[in-house]
Amino acid sequence: MILEKNFVNPYLLFTFALPFLATLIYSLKDKEIRNWEFYLFLFLLIFSSVVIILANNLLLIYIFFEISTLASWRLVLLKRENEKAGSYLLYLNFSGAVLMLIGILLLLLENNFEKITYETFNLANISRISFIAGILISCGIFAKSAIIPFYNWLPPVYAVSPIPVVALLAGIGENLGLILFYKIFLSEIIIENLFYNFISLLAIFSSLIAGGIAYFEKEPRKILAYSTISQLSFILFGLALKEEKAIVGSLILILAHALAKPGLFYKLKAQENNVSNFGYSLLSLSLIGIPPFLGFSGKLLIILGSLQRDLFLGILAIFSSIFTLLYTLKFYPLLKKEKGENIISTSIVYIFGLLLLLLGIIALIYFWGIIL
Protein backbone atom coordinates (compact mmCIF):
# COMPACT_ATOMS: atom_id res chain seq x y z
CA MET A 1 0.00 0.00 0.00
CA ILE A 2 2.78 2.37 0.91
CA LEU A 3 4.62 1.60 -2.27
CA GLU A 4 1.85 2.77 -4.59
CA LYS A 5 2.71 5.38 -7.15
CA ASN A 6 0.26 7.92 -5.78
CA PHE A 7 2.07 7.85 -2.52
CA VAL A 8 5.68 7.47 -3.60
CA ASN A 9 5.86 10.17 -6.28
CA PRO A 10 4.74 13.07 -4.08
CA TYR A 11 6.99 11.74 -1.34
CA LEU A 12 10.01 11.76 -3.66
CA LEU A 13 9.17 15.29 -4.78
CA PHE A 14 9.04 16.25 -1.12
CA THR A 15 12.54 14.86 -0.57
CA PHE A 16 13.76 17.30 -3.23
CA ALA A 17 11.82 20.28 -1.95
CA LEU A 18 13.76 20.86 1.24
CA PRO A 19 17.36 20.84 -0.07
CA PHE A 20 16.19 22.92 -3.03
CA LEU A 21 14.55 25.54 -0.82
CA ALA A 22 17.59 25.64 1.43
CA THR A 23 19.88 26.24 -1.53
CA LEU A 24 17.61 28.92 -2.94
CA ILE A 25 17.45 30.83 0.32
CA TYR A 26 21.15 30.41 0.94
CA SER A 27 22.02 31.72 -2.54
CA LEU A 28 20.28 35.02 -1.83
CA LYS A 29 22.91 35.84 0.75
CA ASP A 30 26.02 34.43 -0.94
CA LYS A 31 27.53 36.80 -3.47
CA GLU A 32 29.92 34.23 -4.89
CA ILE A 33 27.26 32.11 -6.47
CA ARG A 34 24.48 34.64 -6.99
CA ASN A 35 24.54 34.90 -10.77
CA TRP A 36 22.36 33.93 -13.73
CA GLU A 37 24.38 30.83 -14.43
CA PHE A 38 23.78 29.38 -11.00
CA TYR A 39 20.03 29.95 -11.12
CA LEU A 40 19.73 28.67 -14.68
CA PHE A 41 21.37 25.36 -13.91
CA LEU A 42 19.77 25.08 -10.50
CA PHE A 43 16.33 25.27 -12.10
CA LEU A 44 17.40 22.96 -14.90
CA LEU A 45 18.49 20.38 -12.35
CA ILE A 46 15.28 20.69 -10.40
CA PHE A 47 13.16 20.58 -13.54
CA SER A 48 14.87 17.49 -14.85
CA SER A 49 14.56 15.82 -11.45
CA VAL A 50 10.84 16.51 -11.36
CA VAL A 51 10.46 15.10 -14.87
CA ILE A 52 12.40 11.98 -13.93
CA ILE A 53 10.08 11.36 -11.01
CA LEU A 54 6.83 12.07 -12.80
CA ALA A 55 7.52 10.81 -16.32
CA ASN A 56 6.51 7.35 -17.35
CA ASN A 57 8.42 7.36 -20.61
CA LEU A 58 11.84 5.79 -20.72
CA LEU A 59 13.13 8.03 -23.51
CA LEU A 60 12.01 11.15 -21.70
CA ILE A 61 13.55 9.92 -18.49
CA TYR A 62 16.83 9.15 -20.24
CA ILE A 63 16.99 12.59 -21.85
CA PHE A 64 16.34 14.41 -18.62
CA PHE A 65 18.74 12.11 -16.81
CA GLU A 66 21.42 13.44 -19.15
CA ILE A 67 20.24 17.02 -18.77
CA SER A 68 20.56 16.70 -15.01
CA THR A 69 24.15 15.49 -15.51
CA LEU A 70 24.88 18.52 -17.66
CA ALA A 71 23.31 20.81 -15.11
CA SER A 72 25.37 19.38 -12.27
CA TRP A 73 28.50 19.62 -14.40
CA ARG A 74 27.92 23.32 -15.05
CA LEU A 75 27.09 23.89 -11.41
CA VAL A 76 30.41 22.40 -10.40
CA LEU A 77 32.12 24.62 -12.96
CA LEU A 78 30.65 27.80 -11.49
CA LYS A 79 34.14 28.33 -10.23
CA ARG A 80 36.14 27.99 -13.44
CA GLU A 81 39.18 26.58 -11.69
CA ASN A 82 37.22 23.41 -10.85
CA GLU A 83 37.73 22.16 -14.38
CA LYS A 84 39.42 18.93 -13.41
CA ALA A 85 36.74 17.93 -10.96
CA GLY A 86 34.06 18.90 -13.44
CA SER A 87 35.54 16.80 -16.19
CA TYR A 88 35.71 13.85 -13.79
CA LEU A 89 32.00 14.23 -13.27
CA LEU A 90 31.21 14.61 -16.93
CA TYR A 91 33.37 11.78 -18.24
CA LEU A 92 32.21 9.21 -15.75
CA ASN A 93 28.56 10.13 -15.98
CA PHE A 94 28.61 10.09 -19.74
CA SER A 95 30.44 6.79 -19.92
CA GLY A 96 27.73 5.44 -17.64
CA ALA A 97 25.09 7.03 -19.81
CA VAL A 98 26.45 5.42 -22.98
CA LEU A 99 26.29 2.02 -21.35
CA MET A 100 22.82 2.84 -20.18
CA LEU A 101 21.73 3.74 -23.69
CA ILE A 102 23.02 0.42 -24.98
CA GLY A 103 21.10 -1.26 -22.19
CA ILE A 104 17.92 0.56 -23.18
CA LEU A 105 18.38 -0.49 -26.81
CA LEU A 106 18.84 -4.09 -25.71
CA LEU A 107 15.70 -3.77 -23.68
CA LEU A 108 13.82 -2.60 -26.73
CA LEU A 109 15.03 -5.57 -28.74
CA GLU A 110 14.05 -8.00 -26.02
CA ASN A 111 10.55 -6.66 -25.71
CA ASN A 112 9.86 -6.90 -29.44
CA PHE A 113 9.30 -3.24 -29.95
CA GLU A 114 8.86 -3.51 -33.67
CA LYS A 115 8.26 0.10 -34.31
CA ILE A 116 10.03 2.46 -31.99
CA THR A 117 7.39 5.05 -31.29
CA TYR A 118 6.97 7.42 -28.44
CA GLU A 119 4.38 5.18 -26.79
CA THR A 120 6.50 2.07 -26.88
CA PHE A 121 8.98 3.73 -24.57
CA ASN A 122 6.39 3.64 -21.83
CA LEU A 123 7.59 1.95 -18.66
CA ALA A 124 4.32 0.06 -18.42
CA ASN A 125 5.08 -1.68 -21.71
CA ILE A 126 8.22 -3.30 -20.45
CA SER A 127 7.64 -6.77 -19.17
CA ARG A 128 11.03 -8.37 -18.97
CA ILE A 129 14.66 -7.24 -18.84
CA SER A 130 17.60 -9.55 -19.36
CA PHE A 131 20.50 -9.68 -16.97
CA ILE A 132 22.88 -7.90 -19.37
CA ALA A 133 20.45 -5.09 -20.17
CA GLY A 134 19.79 -4.65 -16.48
CA ILE A 135 23.47 -4.39 -15.66
CA LEU A 136 24.09 -1.93 -18.51
CA ILE A 137 21.26 0.31 -17.38
CA SER A 138 22.54 0.04 -13.83
CA CYS A 139 25.93 1.37 -14.95
CA GLY A 140 24.37 4.76 -15.68
CA ILE A 141 22.64 4.64 -12.31
CA PHE A 142 25.90 3.76 -10.55
CA ALA A 143 27.69 6.66 -12.19
CA LYS A 144 24.94 9.06 -11.21
CA SER A 145 24.72 7.92 -7.61
CA ALA A 146 28.48 7.41 -7.29
CA ILE A 147 28.37 3.73 -6.41
CA ILE A 148 31.69 1.88 -6.57
CA PRO A 149 33.16 1.29 -9.24
CA PHE A 150 31.84 4.53 -10.83
CA TYR A 151 32.49 6.76 -7.87
CA ASN A 152 35.79 8.51 -8.67
CA TRP A 153 34.17 11.77 -9.64
CA LEU A 154 32.58 12.43 -6.28
CA PRO A 155 35.51 13.07 -3.91
CA PRO A 156 37.22 15.68 -6.14
CA VAL A 157 33.91 17.41 -6.85
CA TYR A 158 33.04 17.56 -3.16
CA ALA A 159 36.49 18.81 -2.30
CA VAL A 160 36.32 21.94 -4.46
CA SER A 161 32.71 22.87 -5.23
CA PRO A 162 30.86 25.67 -3.46
CA ILE A 163 28.79 24.53 -0.48
CA PRO A 164 25.30 24.99 -1.97
CA VAL A 165 26.30 23.05 -5.07
CA VAL A 166 27.58 20.16 -3.00
CA ALA A 167 24.44 20.28 -0.92
CA LEU A 168 22.34 20.15 -4.10
CA LEU A 169 24.31 17.20 -5.42
CA ALA A 170 24.07 15.34 -2.14
CA GLY A 171 20.41 16.16 -1.61
CA ILE A 172 19.04 15.93 -5.15
CA GLY A 173 21.45 15.12 -7.95
CA GLU A 174 22.71 11.81 -6.67
CA ASN A 175 19.35 10.56 -5.51
CA LEU A 176 18.16 10.57 -9.14
CA GLY A 177 20.06 7.36 -9.83
CA LEU A 178 18.36 5.60 -6.92
CA ILE A 179 14.98 6.89 -7.98
CA LEU A 180 15.55 5.61 -11.50
CA PHE A 181 16.49 2.21 -10.13
CA TYR A 182 13.30 2.19 -8.12
CA LYS A 183 11.20 3.20 -11.14
CA ILE A 184 12.64 0.78 -13.66
CA PHE A 185 13.51 -2.32 -11.69
CA LEU A 186 10.99 -2.48 -8.89
CA SER A 187 7.67 -2.52 -10.71
CA GLU A 188 5.97 -5.46 -12.44
CA ILE A 189 9.04 -6.47 -14.40
CA ILE A 190 10.57 -9.89 -14.69
CA ILE A 191 14.33 -10.03 -14.25
CA GLU A 192 16.17 -13.02 -12.97
CA ASN A 193 16.93 -12.92 -9.26
CA LEU A 194 20.61 -13.13 -10.08
CA PHE A 195 20.45 -9.48 -11.14
CA TYR A 196 19.11 -8.31 -7.79
CA ASN A 197 21.53 -10.50 -5.89
CA PHE A 198 24.41 -9.15 -7.92
CA ILE A 199 23.38 -5.53 -7.45
CA SER A 200 22.74 -5.93 -3.73
CA LEU A 201 26.11 -7.60 -3.21
CA LEU A 202 27.88 -4.91 -5.20
CA ALA A 203 26.02 -2.16 -3.36
CA ILE A 204 26.75 -3.47 0.10
CA PHE A 205 30.43 -3.94 -0.70
CA SER A 206 30.45 -0.45 -2.12
CA SER A 207 28.91 0.85 1.10
CA LEU A 208 31.41 -1.05 3.21
CA ILE A 209 34.43 0.05 1.19
CA ALA A 210 33.39 3.68 1.02
CA GLY A 211 32.67 3.65 4.74
CA GLY A 212 36.13 2.25 5.35
CA ILE A 213 37.77 4.90 3.21
CA ALA A 214 35.74 7.60 4.95
CA TYR A 215 37.14 6.38 8.25
CA PHE A 216 40.64 6.56 6.79
CA GLU A 217 40.37 10.12 5.42
CA LYS A 218 41.26 13.12 7.52
CA GLU A 219 39.66 16.15 5.88
CA PRO A 220 36.01 16.84 6.69
CA ARG A 221 34.98 17.32 3.06
CA LYS A 222 36.59 14.09 1.95
CA ILE A 223 35.06 12.17 4.83
CA LEU A 224 31.68 13.59 3.88
CA ALA A 225 32.24 12.62 0.25
CA TYR A 226 33.01 9.00 1.01
CA SER A 227 30.25 8.98 3.58
CA THR A 228 27.83 10.00 0.82
CA ILE A 229 29.03 7.15 -1.38
CA SER A 230 28.58 4.76 1.51
CA GLN A 231 25.10 6.00 2.36
CA LEU A 232 23.86 5.98 -1.23
CA SER A 233 25.22 2.48 -1.74
CA PHE A 234 23.42 1.41 1.39
CA ILE A 235 20.16 2.82 0.06
CA LEU A 236 20.69 1.04 -3.26
CA PHE A 237 21.37 -2.14 -1.31
CA GLY A 238 18.01 -1.75 0.41
CA LEU A 239 16.25 -1.26 -2.91
CA ALA A 240 17.99 -4.21 -4.54
CA LEU A 241 16.94 -6.53 -1.71
CA LYS A 242 13.44 -6.40 -3.22
CA GLU A 243 11.78 -6.90 0.17
CA GLU A 244 8.97 -4.56 1.03
CA LYS A 245 10.50 -3.66 4.40
CA ALA A 246 13.86 -2.83 2.90
CA ILE A 247 12.37 -0.78 0.06
CA VAL A 248 10.37 1.33 2.48
CA GLY A 249 13.52 1.67 4.57
CA SER A 250 15.45 2.86 1.53
CA LEU A 251 12.81 5.41 0.64
CA ILE A 252 12.91 6.72 4.21
CA LEU A 253 16.68 6.80 4.12
CA ILE A 254 16.63 8.84 0.88
CA LEU A 255 14.81 11.60 2.74
CA ALA A 256 17.00 11.24 5.82
CA HIS A 257 20.11 11.51 3.71
CA ALA A 258 18.75 14.36 1.62
CA LEU A 259 18.34 16.34 4.83
CA ALA A 260 21.36 15.20 6.82
CA LYS A 261 24.11 15.47 4.24
CA PRO A 262 23.32 18.99 2.94
CA GLY A 263 22.87 19.99 6.57
CA LEU A 264 26.35 18.74 7.41
CA PHE A 265 27.79 20.67 4.47
CA TYR A 266 26.02 23.85 5.52
CA LYS A 267 27.61 23.37 8.94
CA LEU A 268 30.92 24.20 7.27
CA LYS A 269 29.65 27.74 6.71
CA ALA A 270 27.53 28.08 9.83
CA GLN A 271 28.38 30.19 12.84
CA GLU A 272 29.81 28.37 15.79
CA ASN A 273 27.17 28.77 18.47
CA ASN A 274 24.75 26.70 20.50
CA VAL A 275 22.05 26.77 17.83
CA SER A 276 24.18 25.38 15.04
CA ASN A 277 25.91 22.90 17.32
CA PHE A 278 22.58 21.59 18.53
CA GLY A 279 21.34 21.18 14.98
CA TYR A 280 24.62 19.59 14.03
CA SER A 281 24.31 17.04 16.84
CA LEU A 282 20.85 16.10 15.61
CA LEU A 283 22.11 15.68 12.04
CA SER A 284 24.96 13.45 13.18
CA LEU A 285 22.68 11.36 15.35
CA SER A 286 20.39 10.80 12.40
CA LEU A 287 23.32 9.86 10.19
CA ILE A 288 24.51 7.32 12.76
CA GLY A 289 20.97 5.99 13.00
CA ILE A 290 19.88 6.47 16.58
CA PRO A 291 16.19 6.33 17.44
CA PRO A 292 13.99 8.33 17.20
CA PHE A 293 15.72 10.10 14.32
CA LEU A 294 14.69 9.46 10.73
CA GLY A 295 17.93 7.70 9.83
CA PHE A 296 17.17 5.02 12.41
CA SER A 297 13.91 3.84 10.86
CA GLY A 298 15.41 3.58 7.40
CA LYS A 299 18.58 1.86 8.47
CA LEU A 300 16.92 -0.64 10.76
CA LEU A 301 14.29 -1.59 8.18
CA ILE A 302 17.02 -2.24 5.63
CA ILE A 303 19.06 -4.32 8.07
CA LEU A 304 16.01 -6.33 9.10
CA GLY A 305 15.13 -6.93 5.47
CA SER A 306 18.64 -8.08 4.71
CA LEU A 307 18.76 -10.38 7.73
CA GLN A 308 15.55 -11.97 6.59
CA ARG A 309 16.95 -12.50 3.12
CA ASP A 310 20.42 -13.72 3.98
CA LEU A 311 22.49 -13.76 7.16
CA PHE A 312 25.70 -12.92 5.31
CA LEU A 313 24.22 -9.80 3.70
CA GLY A 314 22.80 -8.80 7.06
CA ILE A 315 26.20 -9.03 8.73
CA LEU A 316 27.78 -6.94 5.97
CA ALA A 317 25.04 -4.35 6.43
CA ILE A 318 25.76 -4.27 10.16
CA PHE A 319 29.45 -3.76 9.50
CA SER A 320 28.63 -0.92 7.16
CA SER A 321 26.58 0.69 9.92
CA ILE A 322 29.48 0.31 12.34
CA PHE A 323 31.68 2.18 9.88
CA THR A 324 29.05 4.92 9.77
CA LEU A 325 29.28 5.24 13.54
CA LEU A 326 33.08 5.30 13.39
CA TYR A 327 33.49 7.97 10.74
CA THR A 328 30.67 10.13 12.03
CA LEU A 329 32.30 10.22 15.44
CA LYS A 330 35.60 10.95 13.73
CA PHE A 331 34.48 14.04 11.86
CA TYR A 332 32.14 15.20 14.60
CA PRO A 333 34.83 17.09 16.57
CA LEU A 334 36.48 18.26 13.33
CA LEU A 335 33.38 19.88 11.95
CA LYS A 336 32.41 21.35 15.29
CA LYS A 337 35.38 23.64 15.20
CA GLU A 338 34.64 25.00 11.72
CA LYS A 339 33.90 28.67 12.02
CA GLY A 340 31.75 30.35 9.38
CA GLU A 341 29.67 33.49 9.52
CA ASN A 342 26.63 32.71 7.49
CA ILE A 343 23.47 33.04 9.53
CA ILE A 344 21.31 31.27 6.93
CA SER A 345 23.56 28.23 7.13
CA THR A 346 23.08 28.21 10.87
CA SER A 347 19.33 28.18 10.56
CA ILE A 348 19.41 25.52 7.84
CA VAL A 349 21.47 23.25 10.06
CA TYR A 350 19.09 23.83 12.95
CA ILE A 351 15.89 23.38 10.95
CA PHE A 352 17.11 20.27 9.16
CA GLY A 353 18.15 18.75 12.47
CA LEU A 354 14.76 19.38 14.01
CA LEU A 355 13.00 18.09 10.90
CA LEU A 356 14.96 14.85 11.11
CA LEU A 357 13.81 14.44 14.69
CA LEU A 358 10.19 15.27 13.92
CA LEU A 359 9.95 13.16 10.78
CA GLY A 360 11.74 10.36 12.60
CA ILE A 361 9.08 10.26 15.29
CA ILE A 362 6.34 10.33 12.66
CA ALA A 363 8.03 7.51 10.74
CA LEU A 364 8.39 5.47 13.90
CA ILE A 365 4.76 5.85 14.84
CA TYR A 366 3.29 5.57 11.36
CA PHE A 367 5.41 3.17 9.33
CA TRP A 368 6.32 0.70 12.02
CA GLY A 369 2.69 0.22 12.86
CA ILE A 370 1.82 -0.55 9.24
CA ILE A 371 4.77 -2.61 8.10
CA LEU A 372 5.56 -4.86 10.98
Residue 281 interacts with another protein (CB under 8 A): yes or no = yes
Residue 121 interacts with another protein (CB under 8 A): yes or no = no
Residue 293 interacts with another protein (CB under 8 A): yes or no = yes
Q: Residue 241 CB, nearest distance to another protein (Å)?
A: 14
Residue 204 interacts with another protein (CB under 8 A): yes or no = no
User: Of the two residues 129 and 213, which places its CB atom closer to another protein in the complex?
Assistant: 213
Q: Within 329-358, which residues bind another protein (CB under 8 A)?
A: 329-330, 332-333
Q: Distance of CA 303 to CAs 190, 247, 280, 306, 361, Å?
A: 25, 11, 25, 5, 19
Q: Within 300-319, which residues bind another protein (CB under 8 A)?
A: 300, 303-304, 307-308, 318
Q: Which residues contact 294 (CB under 8 A, 6 or more apart)?
A: 252, 255, 256, 259, 286, 356, 357, 359, 360, 363
Query: Which member of 62, 181, 195, 296 binds another protein (CB under 8 A)?
Result: 296
Of the listed pieces 139-147, 164-172, 259-267, 285-293, which binds another protein according to CB under 8 A? 285-293
Residue 1 interacts with another protein (CB under 8 A): yes or no = no
Of the listed pieces 15-23, 102-110, 166-174, 361-369, which binds another protein according to CB under 8 A? 361-369
User: Of the two residues 148 and 239, which places its CB atom closer to another protein in the complex?
Assistant: 148
**Cβ–Cβ under 8 Å, residues 279 and 352:** yes
Q: Within 228-267, which residues bind another protein (CB under 8 A)?
A: none
Residue 291 interacts with another protein (CB under 8 A): yes or no = yes
Residue 106 interacts with another protein (CB under 8 A): yes or no = no
Size of the site for another protein (CB under 8 A): 46
Q: Report cis status (omega within 30 of 0) of the bond before 149.
A: yes
Residue 201 interacts with another protein (CB under 8 A): yes or no = no
Residue 273 interacts with another protein (CB under 8 A): yes or no = no
Residue 142 interacts with another protein (CB under 8 A): yes or no = no
User: Of the two residues 38 and 280, which places its CB atom closer to another protein in the complex?
Assistant: 280
Q: Residue 199 CB, nearest distance to another protein (Å)?
A: 18
Q: Within 46-105, which residues bind another protein (CB under 8 A)?
A: 91-92
Query: Which member of 321, 345, 346, 347 binds another protein (CB under 8 A)?
Result: 321
**For binding to another protein (CB under 8 A), which residues are involved?**
91-92, 148-149, 151-152, 208-209, 211-217, 277-278, 281, 285, 288-293, 296, 300, 303-304, 307-308, 318, 321-323, 325-326, 329-330, 332-333, 364-365, 368-369, 372
